[in-house]
């Protein structure tokens, strides 16, 4: 084996060993998945977030909530909404209706309800499971400055 063959072999082996590092540096940003809020303190933190935030308030058992949950989870994985933080919370368990009313004066008459937060205030909300309305409101939230 001559010197140029050895150099070529060394170079190829070196490149193969560096491949995981190359892949890591070109990895995409992870896509959101809704995080569950389990304490009133965490709910308050989400409701007063400075970042664009969508919080789905639901209850157990609730057929409308169960129908909207996969739609909300799919929206969280949509790259168009990657700057939005997504959360789910059991509304009755965390007394979410009271927390929302205390912070904003908005009444939550039922579940599912989706609360949109930005710049430490509730900027929009949705009652019920209309997918089209959800997408319109998330698009607006994602574009907010």
- Domain range list for the chain: 36-143
The tokens for 40 are 């009133």
Q: pLDDT per residue over 111-135, tens digit each?
A: 999 999 999 999 999 998 788 999 9
Largest alpha-carbon pair distance within the chain?
81
Q: What is the pLDDT of residues 56-90, one digit of tens each?
A: 999 988 999 999 999 999 999 999 999 999 999 99
Beta strands in the chain (DSSP E): 35-37, 53-58, 85-90, 113-118, 121-127
The CATH superfamily assigned to 36-143 is Glutaredoxin (3.40.30.10)
CB 69 within 8 A of CB 58: yes
Tokens of residue 129, six digits: 């499971």
Q: Report the distance separating Cα 79 and Cα 138, nearest Å.
A: 12
């Amino acid at each position: 084996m001559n010197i140029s063959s050895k150099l070529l072999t060394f170079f190829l082996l070196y490149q193969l060993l560096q491949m995981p590092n190359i892949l890591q540096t070109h990895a995409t940003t992870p896509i959101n998945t809704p995080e569950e809020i389990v304490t009133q303190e965490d709910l308050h933190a989400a409701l007063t977030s400075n970042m664009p935030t969508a919080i789905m308030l639901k209850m157990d058992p609730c057929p409308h909530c169960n129908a909207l949950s996969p739609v909300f989870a799919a929206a969280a994985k949509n790259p168009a909404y990657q700057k939005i933080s997504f959360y789910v919370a059991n509304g009755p368990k965390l007394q979410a209706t009271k927390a929302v009313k205390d912070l904003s004066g908005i009444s939550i008459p039922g579940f599912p309800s989706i609360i949109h937060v930005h710049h430490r205030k509730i900027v929009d909300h949705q009652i019920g499971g209309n997918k089209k309305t959800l997408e319109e409101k998330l698009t607006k939230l994602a574009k907010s400055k």
